[in-house]
Amino acid sequence: MPSSNIKFSSLSRYLVATALMLATLNACSFDSLVNVDDPESGRELSPGAISSREGGLGLYRSAVGQLAQGISELSRQVGAFTDELAVRPASSDDHNGMNWPDDSRLDSTNRWGERMLASSSYAYLHGARVRASQARTVLSKFDDPSYNYILAATYGVEAYSIILLAESMCSGIPLSEVPFGLDVEFTGAIPTEQLFTTAIAKLDSGLLLEQDSARVTALLRMGKARAYMGLGDYEQAAEVVADYSETDKFELTYTLASPYGSPTSTYGFWADTVLDINRGNYNLFEMVNREGRNGIVWYQDPNKIDPRLPVTLTEVEGVAQFATVVRQRKRMVGNMPFPLAHWVEAKMILAENYLSKADPQWLTELNSARRSVGLSDTTDPGTSSARVDLLFRERAFWFYLDGRRLADYRRLINQYGRSIATVYPVGVYTRRPGVPFYGEAYVFSPPSSEYEHNYKYDGCIHRNP
Amino acid sequence: MKCWRNLWVGGSGIAGCMMLAIIPMTMPMLNAQGSQTTKPAPKSGVISIRLESVNIRKALQEIASEAKVTLMLDGNDVKLKKVLSDSVVANFQAVSLDNAVAIVMRNTGYTGVLSSDGRMLMITPVKTSASESVSTGMVSGTVVDSAGGKGIGGVTVIVTGTRLSAITSSTGAFTIRNVPVGSQSLTFKLLGYASETRNITVESGKSTVVKVTLSQAISQLSGVVTTATGERRKVEVAHDIARIDPEIIMQRAPVRTFADLIEAAQVPGVLIQRQSGAPGAPSKIRIRGIGSIAQSNDPVIIVDGVWIDASVGYPSRLDDIDPSTIQNVEIVRGPSAATLYGQDASNGVIIITTKRGQAGPTRWNLNYSRDWGNTYGRVPYAYVGFGRDPALGATVHCSNLDVLEFRCVQDSAVRYDPNSSLLNREGVETVNRMAVQVDGGSASTTYAITATAMNTIGVNRISPIDKIRFRQLGYDYSSKFERPSKLDRRNITSNFTIIPRSNLTVGLSLVGNQTSLKNNGIIYRMETSSNTQIERDFSTDTIQYLRQRVSPTSKENPIRSDATIVGTAIKWNPRINWVANGTVGYERGGREESVYQSNAHCDPLLPCADTTGNRFESTERRTIQTVRLNTSTELNLGSTLKFLEIRPSIGADFRKENVSVLAISRSDVPPGEKSITSGGTAYPNGYRRADATAGWYINSTIGLFRKLYFDLGLRQDIGSAIGSSKNTKYPKLGTSWLVSDENFWRENNIVNMLRLRFAVGHSAVQPEVADIRGFYIGAFEYIDGKFMRSVELRSPSNPNLVPERATEFELGFDTDLISNRLNLMATYAHSENRNTLVTRELPPSAGGVWGNTRKENIARIRNRNFELTSIGRVIENQNTLLVLNYTLTLSENVVKKLGKGMLPFSDQSVARVQVGYPVAGSWVKEVLGYRDRDENNLISLDEVILSDSAVYVGWSQPRYRASYGATMTLVNNLTFDARFAYQSKYVQQYTRENRYGAEDKNAPLQEQAYEVIAGLTGRRSVTDLRWNSASVTYSLPSQFVKPLRARSISVSLQGSNLGLWTNYVGRDPGVNSSILTSELLTDDGTGVPRPRSYVLDFKIGF
């Protein structure tokens, strides 16, 4: 029928045209049709831009920087909660809630034990870990042996971050991953022991890489030894660093300067908030002496100052309750190296291993280190308990404000069976008579945001005092 | 040839079965259906066919095909060849072959003759006889609108029972020749108007003059609406689409911006949120609530087929579209309607069609209006508290919150009257606005060009006390600070329609806009002893702190924005039932902003040189490329299945947006320098971003018996962010049932028409590219004793992101009641936005230190809206027409889910996203009681009892909204109009300075109590009734207009924002200074209230 022909001719043409249209659309690669360049900004960089050698190096540097920041924050926090630092009173920030060491119930009121500084050091250490892993992913693509030392260093940075978390916090810390360009992988609580073994595994991976950087090797070895110490395996730790020499070291550096030229935008490490008491609102901390009941006597006489811990006594006007402020001089200036791995620590590890086996060599190792800074030899106190006290006192002086003191408290309790009351600076906060007491044990658990945003995390497994 | 029978001799006539006459191409195309309440009268052997934009040859072929006859044409007839190439448009429904051919061949000098066996149709010249010529007469006359008395163009005038018909000209005039003598009946039809029939007597050789008045039909179902697949009759569309005619709106209310237009139209479900009453201040458009938490809730805006940038900037990109240049606006509400528009359409679509030209002589329309505006209402005394810092002992300014939190011990409060002659800085706002429009054209080309210019001087002025201070300080405040807020806007919009072939229409539209906004002013820096500077920006703030210990510095903030929109639309009818549409569009928007701010810190009591300054400039460039292709066909299955209409269509579209922003700031600019290149230290920054989406869709409208329609569609999208791997298929289904056309329906005068509709559909808002890919920032780390370049992860990637998916069903009805005097439209819409994106903080274990957030699809939001529109003709007679309309919107917004482990998050502690409550719910501490214990008529802090915890007080959007309007037209020339709007159950944040002071003994105690704890509560539930507008318009009768050689002249006196009745303590809850940054915040603290303005509007057309 002519009419039908017309109609169905129309229909068929329409269908043919439709089919052609769809075919054309399909012929174009849909994804290429809408593909756009990555967003760019003055400082924003897309993952595509980071997938380069320079991007990988940038990630590695970020990891190192964040590790430094993490240790810096941890040092301040550990210092404040142990017998290393105290908060100056009458600060203009007192009424802004920043006088937290005055709050004695440090581990009793907050469900998660969160403290502002804790959250910052916690985040930095995880940041270092994640960036290091991402840097390794990016740089591994290039299969360039000249990058092996950086790849090895990324293992070191990652492992150190884990070790610091394990040493300082409760048992049960998550190690979420952010694989480069992929989705976030959340993890639940990982016990302290497992954190140490994870760190050892990563350090072993780094040591397996063929590279000729003595610095990096020193970092990896010391990290491994430190992890074994955390596990209480002094023998293994000593074995790793048995031949550690004075030239074996890995240092971070810090500065007060800013890359952006603004003097108010300080970068990194302790100096900005801990040590420069002349910096307006930042003058929160000072050095203390024999803090609480168990605190170490850091100095006795201005004329007999331990070279490992130089101090300056300063008369400060306007501070109502005491006129003399003790300023430590160990890390007072910018652009100083900070030893992450150092032969003195090897000596301390060797000494502890010897002491655990009642080998008199332990004292030799301690004095070997003391002599390096011109100190006279110390003598054996005679009892095993006093020997342990001496060993840890030596560690305290060597590692003052390095963020190690809390880990040593924990080891004294968990590995040497000391009671909390004999380790922590329990008692009156010496510089603020009349204000509440220190608590008796501290639990550094992850900040609230970890509980809120990590759906696999339910909290610490063990307080790990 | 005796075997031929002349079809016209002895023909049975049109006999009422013809539904529509021929419409010349030069006239606007009319929908073929006429009133939806008219039932077709099926007739055996008749033709039902739609002829659009075809030539006569094709039309005849289609008719012959439909009638199953063979068409015969004389190939040697040159004149016939020419005739056959002429265009014709018609729509036959059950029309006989005779009449169909007669209509197509009308006025051509040819006629159709059917062979005696009825199998062949031959086209032959018409033979007239002398007897015929003397037995006819002529009918002429005019058709006018009952409302304004203006002539109505496009009305079809049919001599009932004959093939004779005419279309009225734009003035309403018509002439029909050769009308048979004797009694005749004329039928007048135009969509949107009630049909009229007039009986006349035609005398031989004489002219009969008729004047007919048509009344606008109350039914809202007439006409066509724009859908993603092209124009559709409204009755076929299952969802509610609001249509706005700017010309009508602007006749009754002052409209300066596009947002003004939408607000004045009072469309249910559509909310305008204003930032401020200052010139150029942007507004947000929210349709059916808030569906997104982290994504934009802006609707899609399409101008002449071009998808434009609708972001809320300053000035708003929406203001690039001048209301004077718009022919109509259609608001597509909700995902069920917006499905086929693709990504980002969940928030609704606003389709703007700019003015089109009409064929005919050139017409000029001139419009000039002048506004005078000022702020109104009592401004309470303002107080400034002073006290001392307990720690430092220094004198400081005390806020109530400072007092509550023991940061300040207040010892005094200083009162000042912001409206005092010295402090008052509010002047008279003036707006001059001019529009010139010209249109015209021929059968093949039409054009319309509209040029507008607007100049606004804002209400702000420098106060006398400030002048004195500046003079004392030796400052030259000059005239640019005298009236600091100014806006100049120039817009030109042009439209060209070209019809190169009868089946091809090409449209070209161009919009150019340039806006210049100046916010000059003075910034006061209050010097407190703690060196905290409280900056109050003169150009935007309403009231200053006390002029004590302040350092004034100058600020100049010029902003220029421009926009160019180019759209090309092609419509091609390769066959009678096949239409292909294509639109190619391009928008380019630019914005340049500079801020020059002197940076003097000097004692105000001493002369102070403008020694250093800061300068900031940013340049923004946006380009949007839009390509939209659509093809649709109408499958008419002919006489065998004439009850069935199927119109399938398929289309594809593509959109790409490029944004580039360059910002440079420079400090320490030498005195007097305004250039970014001069001196100082420059800090450049900026970004580039691109985003593209593409999609295709299939859609089909199926009509059964012309009263039950189904609309089925499916769309699939791909996008830069989502790629093609995500589940981005969006289905839709709608049905529209004209119940009153069913056989079981009994005609009555109570319910004249009833349509039921239901629609369900999905749509989406997509994440941004950076949301999925993540991004890093460049940084430095200090490594081995030196700074080295590093990169820092700022937002981890989230490859699992999918677009937010909104699912909506809406159901409703439209009905004409009480002899077509009352029209009701009611809609209930229920939408669920799933996979709602939330900016979620990542746990620190994922390695974040700064900016450790990313988007996640973890929330679900539900919006429910009930919308009602009612239009009624209360009085309707020859001299008086009174139309009342009423709209009602009930809105509910609830967060149904927030993701595992996601705690309620807050913004400034009062706005929360919490499951079970609206997205922008406000939470404040409750005033449980207050008592003036010391009986000093002052409520102090210790005399107020507050709840321990915050309680929910409401949502930032009104729960209930209603509008009411009345329009009365007298003797077709004089129109009165008044509009009111009511809003209730929404929450507004207020600040202390504009309220009752803590030391105002005249203030009600309750208000004092709220004021005292303003820092803790700061939010009040608001109910307000606003007298939005009133106008009186006079259109001069033709006897006065003609001597001036004009076509029309009207004068209108309008007022806006004429009254406000509210429980709100602040100045005007209708402004909301924080809308630019967040859905969650509302704050009237620094917004200039909307002025009350009076407008004189003058229009003349030639």
DSSP letter for each residue of B283-319: EEEEESS---SSS--PPEEEETTEEE-----SS-GGG
* Residue B530 reports pLDDT greater than 50: no
* Residue B17 reports pLDDT greater than 60: no
B48-62, B300-314, B743-757: which range is least confident on average? B48-62
* Residue B341 reports pLDDT greater than 70: yes
A178/chain B closest Cα distance in angstroms: 6
What rounded mean pLDDT belongs to chain B? 77
Do B847 and A2 lie within an 8 Å CB cutoff? no
Residue A60: closest C-alpha in chain B: B790
Residues 6+ apart with CB under 8 A from B269: B287, B288, B333, B334, B827, B829, B865, B867, B889, B891
Asked whether the beta carbons of A162 and A194 are under 8 A apart, the reply is: no
CA atoms within 13 A on the CB side of B303: 31
> Which of A350-359, A436-445, B324-333: highest mean pLDDT?
A350-359
Compare B1025 and B625 and report the one with higher pLDDT: B1025
Residues 6+ apart with CB under 8 A from B555: B519, B520, B521, B522, B523, B537, B538, B539, B595, B596, B597, B598
CA-wise closest residue to B925 among B909, B943, B904, B907 = B909
Asked whether the beta carbons of B913 and B905 are under 8 A apart, the reply is: yes
> Which of A131-145, B119-133, B422-436, B812-826: highest mean pLDDT?
A131-145
Q: Cα B795 to chain center, whole Å?
A: 36
C-alpha–C-alpha distance, residues B746 and B744, integer Å: 6
Asked whether the beta carbons of A270 and A254 are under 8 A apart, the reply is: yes
- In A, which residues are within 8 Å of B791 by CB distance? 45, 50, 55, 58-59, 62
- In B, which residues are within 8 Å of A253 by CB distance? 782-785
Asked whether the beta carbons of B831 and B787 are under 8 A apart, the reply is: no
Q: Predicted confidence band at A111 (pLDDT cuts at 50, 70, 90)?
A: very low
C-alpha–C-alpha distance, residues B1102 and B365, integer Å: 6
- Which CB contacts under 8 angstroms, 24+ apart, belong to B681-684? B684/A42
B703/chain A closest Cα distance in angstroms: 18
Give the mean pLDDT of B33-40. 31
* Residue B886 reports pLDDT greater than 80: yes
Q: Cα B99 to chain center, whole Å?
A: 44
Compare B116 and B735 and report the one with higher pLDDT: B735
Do A50 and B776 lie within an 8 Å CB cutoff? yes
B573/chain A closest Cα distance in angstroms: 12
Radius of gyration of chain B (CA): 33
pLDDT at residue B1094, as a whole number: 93
Counting one residue from chain A and one from chain B, the pairs whose CB atoms sit within 8 A come to 267
Which amino acid, A148?
Answer: N
Residues 6+ apart with CB under 8 A from B303: B321, B352, B354, B509, B511, B565, B567
Angstrom CA distances, B394 to B255, B387, B388, B410, stand at 52, 8, 5, 12
Q: Give A 242-271 residues with CB within 8 A of chain B.
A: 253-255, 257, 259-260, 267-268
Do A454 and B845 lie within an 8 Å CB cutoff? yes
C-alpha–C-alpha distance, residues B1057 and B253, integer Å: 10
**Dihedral sign from CA coordinates of A229, A235, A239, A242:** positive
CA-wise closest residue to A130 among B797, B787, B840 = B797
- For B946-985, what is each residue's pLDDT tens digit? 777 778 888 888 999 999 999 999 887 899 999 999 999 8
C-alpha–C-alpha distance, residues B6 and B112, integer Å: 7
Compare B754 and B90 and report the one with higher pLDDT: B754
A5/chain B closest Cα distance in angstroms: 9
Of B635, B842, B844, the CB nearest to A122: B844
- For A81-105, what is each residue's pLDDT tens digit? 788 877 654 443 333 333 444 443 3
Q: Predicted confidence band at B694 (pLDDT cuts at 50, 70, 90)?
A: confident
B1070/chain A closest Cα distance in angstroms: 36
Q: Could you write out the DSSP letters of every residue in B464-530?
A: HHHHHHHHHHT---HHHHHS-EEEEEEEEEEEEEEEEETTEEEEEEEEEEEEEEEE-EEEEEEE-TT
- For B560-580, what is each residue's pLDDT tens digit? 888 899 999 888 877 766 778
Interface test with B, best of A51, A62, A333 (most B CBs within 10 A): A62
Of B578, B635, B774, the CB nearest to A47: B774
* Residue B917 reports pLDDT greater than 80: yes
> Which of B2-6, B148-152, B797-801, B1085-1089: highest mean pLDDT?
B797-801
> Which of B127-136, B660-669, B882-891, B967-976: highest mean pLDDT?
B882-891
- Length of chain A counted residue by residue: 465
* Residue B449 reports pLDDT greater than 50: yes
Residues 6+ apart with CB under 8 A from B1052: B251, B252, B1031, B1032, B1033, B1034, B1095, B1096, B1097, B1098, B1099
Q: Give A 134-163 residues with CB within 8 A of chain B.
A: 134
Q: Which residue has the tokens 């949107």?
A: B192
Give the mean pLDDT of A56-60. 93
Give the mean pLDDT of B670-675. 60
> Which of B671-685, B904-918, B970-984: highest mean pLDDT?
B970-984
Give the β-pairing of A250-254 and A336-341: antiparallel
Whole-number percent of chain B with pLDDT over 70 = 73
C-alpha–C-alpha distance, residues A415 and B668, integer Å: 61
Q: Give A 202-241 residues with CB within 8 A of chain B.
A: none
A107-116, B373-382, B1060-1069: which range is least confident on average? A107-116
Whole-number percent of chain A with pLDDT over 90 = 42
Asked whether the beta carbons of B437 and B365 are under 8 A apart, the reply is: yes
- For B250-264, what is each residue's pLDDT tens digit? 888 889 899 999 999
C-alpha–C-alpha distance, residues B233 and B244, integer Å: 16
Q: Predicted confidence band at B9 (pLDDT cuts at 50, 70, 90)?
A: very low
- For B986-1017, what is each residue's pLDDT tens digit? 887 765 544 555 556 677 777 777 766 665 55
Structure tokens at B1054: 């309008």
* Residue B422 reports pLDDT greater than 50: yes
C-alpha–C-alpha distance, residues A70 and B944, integer Å: 46
C-alpha–C-alpha distance, residues B392 and A96, integer Å: 13
Of A10, A30, A267, the CB nearest to B724: A30
C-alpha–C-alpha distance, residues B493 and B325, integer Å: 6
Do B777 and A45 lie within an 8 Å CB cutoff? yes
- In B, which residues are within 8 Å of A22 by CB distance? 650, 696
C-alpha–C-alpha distance, residues B29 and B22, integer Å: 10
Which amino acid, B363?
Answer: R
Which amino acid, B731?
Answer: P
Helix (H) or strand (E) holding B686: strand B681-704
Structure tokens at A176: 């979420």
Angstrom CA distances, A255 to A68, A117, A334, B994, stand at 11, 20, 4, 48
Would an 8 Å CB–CB cutoff place A38 in contact with chain B?
yes
C-alpha–C-alpha distance, residues B207 and B139, integer Å: 6
pLDDT at residue B933, as a whole number: 82
Q: Could you write out the DSSP letters of every residue in B734-795?
A: EEEEEGGGSTTPPP-SSEEEEEEEEEEEEEEEPPPHHHHH-EEEEEEEEETTEEEEEEEEEE
pLDDT at residue B649, as a whole number: 85
What rounded mean pLDDT belongs to chain A? 78
Compare B501 and B1084 and report the one with higher pLDDT: B501
Q: Which residue has the tokens 């265009």?
A: B87
Biggest CA pair distance of chain B: 120
Asked whether the beta carbons of B507 and B495 are under 8 A apart, the reply is: yes
Give the mean pLDDT of B712-740. 86
B841/chain A closest Cα distance in angstroms: 7
> Which of A170-184, A236-250, B279-293, B1011-1025: highest mean pLDDT?
A236-250
Q: Cα B1020 to chain center, whole Å?
A: 29
Interface test with A, best of B578, B661, B715, B791 (most A CBs within 10 A): B791
pLDDT at residue A327, as a whole number: 72
* Residue B632 reports pLDDT greater than 70: no
Q: Predicted confidence band at B1023 (pLDDT cuts at 50, 70, 90)?
A: very high
* Residue A391 reports pLDDT greater than 90: yes
pLDDT at residue A392, as a whole number: 97
Give the β-pairing of B224-227 and B533-537: unpaired
Of A30, A42, A268, the CB nearest to B686: A42
- Length of chain B counted residue by residue: 1102
Angstrom CA distances, B15 to B5, B100, B638, B824, stand at 20, 12, 22, 34
Q: Predicted confidence band at B419 (pLDDT cuts at 50, 70, 90)?
A: low
Of B65, B391, B694, the CB nearest to A3: B65
Q: Cα A285 to chain center, whole Å?
A: 20
What b-and-e string marks burial along A202-235, b requiring 16 or more CB atoms within 10 Å of the CB? bbebbbebebeeebbbbbbbbbbbbbbbbbbbbe
The pTM of the full predicted model, rounded to 2 decimals, is: 0.75
Interface test with A, best of B782, B838, B850 (most A CBs within 10 A): B782
